[in-house]
Amino acid sequence: MRFSMCCAMSFLIGFGSLVSAAELSRKGSPAEVAVEVDRLVGVELKANEIQPAGLSTDEDFLRRVTLDISGTLPSARDVTLFGLNPDKAKRERAIERLLESDEYAAAWARYWRDVIFGRATNMRAGLVNQAFVDWMTESLSENKGWDLIATEMITASGDVRENGNSALIFAQEGVAEDVAGEVSRIFLGIQMQCANCHDHPWDRWKRADFHELAAFFPRISLRPVREENRIRSYEIASVNQSVNPQDRFRDLKENADRIFRFADRNRDGKLVKAEVQQSPLGRAFDLLLERGDTNKDGGLSLAELKAVEFPMPMQVGRGSTEHFMADLNNPSSPGEKVDPKFFVTGYSPKSGLADIERRELFSEYLTSSKNEWFSRAFVNRMWAEMTGEGFYMPIDDMGPDREAKFPEVLDLLAAQFTSNGYDVRWLIRTIALTETYQREVRSAVPGTEAVPFASATATRLRGDQLYSSLITVLGDNTAQGRGRGPQMGGGGGMYRGPRSPRDQFGELFGFDPSTPQSDITGNIPQALFMMNSPMLAGQINARGFTKLTGLLRRFPDNEDAINELYVMILSREPSDREMKIATGYLAEVDNREEAFEDLMWSLLNSSEFLSKR
């Protein structure tokens, strides 16, 4: 049964008091949990003598929640009808409608594409771009749990063009250390990558912890998929036997005594080429002799064999049967063999497992309800994306040695997210129902820091949201056969894959969503595109087949037309001051079409249009 926020509040108060966080360890409805979230936030704000901001206007709420859930602006018609709707539950109904829309899954799929590809190390990562978006869109449409989505990414295999869940592994080129670092960052919110070379400087994680995590992934191999003697794609495959030259030399190091006894047939304490032909040393003996025959007697003693340095570096993407932690004082040595172990819980698999078995078992460790960081990382990320401020900032740098803001709220949401089967829609619905999410943006007092969760935080639109918003405002010319949306120039390529207009736009305006808002600023190319691009200039035209032309025909009265333009672009009507400025400019220019083109241009280039408020 669904409750509106008001109904849920009345229901809970009717029992004498609000439900506590402890009582909500059971499976709670979004409305119930939203009420408890607001209570916990209110208690802490009150303790610090902070008065929260009021609720946003209907227009601001609809714009905010539409951008958050479906990644675009509401239409002018939707804004008008929503403002006139007297239904007290209209905000909840709007949330439900947006979550059931096709745009919801597509928008959040592109969000996760930006998260994964924002830190790709593989220059060919673009090959899996569209496949990932398609796969993630389908997964979110089916409302797969976050645990299942994470598992499918971690255990991916096959052709990357056909298996979108391979994006995370392919973006990191299958390198065990890089995959481990991104898995920890994205699914645990814990930055472990600096422990690759040294103990973490300010967290408890040791270098061994990182390499025990990486030891779940060394057997991943990227192999080219050829078609008519050209590389068409790549596939993720498993390496469960020692086929890598690097592995062969490492095996030799570990088993030198046994191999030497087997190969030294005449027991003279020296190996020569004639007696090793049928031994594991046969193929590599010439290279071993070149590197290890220090006394130049044409043979290798056991000591010389053990002292041979690795003749070649690990080749990226080739895979390895085992993971070794490099000896930083002796880079040419094989390093220390490390067995897989999950640093959060201490769980480790039995020996002898194949690659996919290792990764499947790690996925179980990762998504287990006993691993609280899995749910906490997702809740923190989604809360920050929707409200503009996370419980931990940056959102992907959490951990037991960091202090969360409003920790009881995070604990509650994480426990409920787990209890509700890692249901992504459940979490988005719950956050959107809170008064904390629905508060208005409050101007900061000069010289003071903004108080988290006391008011809404304005954030810059991601490139994908901005593209969709431009399509909503200007119209999708693709539908009328007059173009393909904002054109950025350039094509695809072997390593980039097909580049749609949306992809091209994202290359200019996109950013890694894990980046704190304070570090995100516009740049000159972005400003020049918004001010001068032929695409925008062609649509900001009152004399062609554009939405502006139709608007001016439908509204011959200038004030009515100004109102409609503001609602269409900013999802609100102009203030009295803005109306006065706009009508004054119309009178000054004395050319209706030209003046409205200038007005539309200025609104599209305003910080308000480029932001979520």
pLDDT at residue 273 in the model: 83
Domain count, the chain: 4
Name the domain boundary from 457, 487, 504: 457
Q: Which residue has the tokens 């299958």?
A: 174
Q: Which residues of the chain have pLDDT under 70?
A: 1-25, 241-254, 278-284, 309-319, 332, 444-450, 477-498
The helices-and-strands tally (H runs, E runs) of the chain is 28, 7
468 and 574 co-located in one domain: yes
Dihedral angle at the C-alpha atoms of 413, 415, 416, 422, nearest 10 degrees? 100
Asked if residue 141 and residue 225 are part of one domain, the reply reads: yes
Cα angle 256, 336, 200; round to 5: 175
At 456, phi and psi to the nearest 5?
-70, 155
How confident is the model at residue 399, as a pLDDT? 87
Please count the residues of the chain: 613
Which residue do the tokens 């003279």 mark? 268
Q: Are residues 291 and 342 in the same domain?
A: no
Place of tokens 């951990």: 399
Strand 336-338 and strand 158-159: the pairing is unpaired
Instruction: Kindly give, in sequence order, each residue whose CB lies less than 8 Å from that of residue 155, ignoring residues fewer than 6 positions away.
Output: 356, 359, 360, 363
**For the purposes of burial, counting CB atoms within 10 Å of the CB of 307, is it exposed (0-12), middle (13-18) or buried (19 or more)?**
middle
Domain boundary among 405, 424, 457: 457
**Cα separations in angstroms, 453 against 458, 511, 603:** 12, 24, 29
Q: Is residue 570 part of a domain?
A: yes
Q: Is residue 333 part of a domain?
A: no
DSSP H or E stretch at residue 336: strand 336-338
Which CA distances in Å does 252 have to 309, 525, 569? 11, 55, 68
Q: Answer yes or no: is 79 within a domain.
A: yes
Please indicate, yes or no, whether residues 168 and 220 belong to a single structural domain of this protein: yes
Domain span at residue 544 reads: 463-612
DSSP notation for 155-203: T--EETTT-GGGHHHHHTTT-HHHHHHHHHHHHH----GGGGTS--SSS
Structure tokens at 285: 């003996």
143 and 229 fall within a common domain: yes
Please indicate, yes or no, whether residues 66 and 86 belong to a single structural domain of this protein: yes
Q: What is the 3-state secondary structure (H, E, C) of 274-297?
A: HHCCCCCCCCCHHHHHHHHCCCCC
Rounded CA separation 238/221 (Å): 6
Torsion angle, CA of 118/123/124/130, rounded to 10 degrees? Answer: 20
Q: How many CB atoms lie within 10 A of CB 140?
A: 19
Biggest CA–CA distance in the chain, Å, is 106
Domain membership of residue 161 (yes or no) is yes
Is residue 447 domain-shared with residue 475, that is, in the same domain? no
Residues 408-424 have pLDDT tens digits of 999 999 999 999 999 99
495 in the same domain as 358? no
User: With helix as H, strand as E and coil as C, how does 345-378 read?
Assistant: CCCCCCCCCCHHHHHHHHHHHHHCCCCHHHHHHH
Q: 541 and 400: one domain?
A: no
Do 442 and 467 belong to one domain?
Answer: no
Report the alpha-carbon distance of residue 152 to residue 136 in Å, rounded.
10
Task: Let me know: does 198 contact 162? Beta carbons within 8 Å.
Answer: no
DSSP 83-95: HH---TTHHHHHH
Q: Is 331 among the domain residues?
A: no
The model carries a pTM of 0.84
* Residue 347 and residue 209 share a domain: yes
**Interval 189-248: pLDDT, tens:** 999 888 878 887 778 889 999 999 999 999 999 998 988 888 889 999 988 755 455 555
Contact 230, 209 (CB under 8 A): no
Separation CA 545–CA 147 (nearest Å): 48
Report yes or no on 324 lying in a domain. no
Q: Can you name the residues that pair with 249 across neighbouring β-strands?
A: none
Query: Which residue reads 């946003």 in tokens?
Result: 56
Give the other-Cβ count within 10 Å of 470's Cβ: 23
13 and 151 share one domain: no
Domain containing residue 299: CATH number: 1.10.238.10
65 inside domain: yes
**Domain membership flag for residue 238:** no
Where b means 16+ CB within 10 Å and e means fewer, 174-195 reads bbbbbbbbbbbbbbbbbbbbbb
Please list the alpha-helical segments (H only) found in 215-354.
245-254, 256-263, 285-292, 302-307
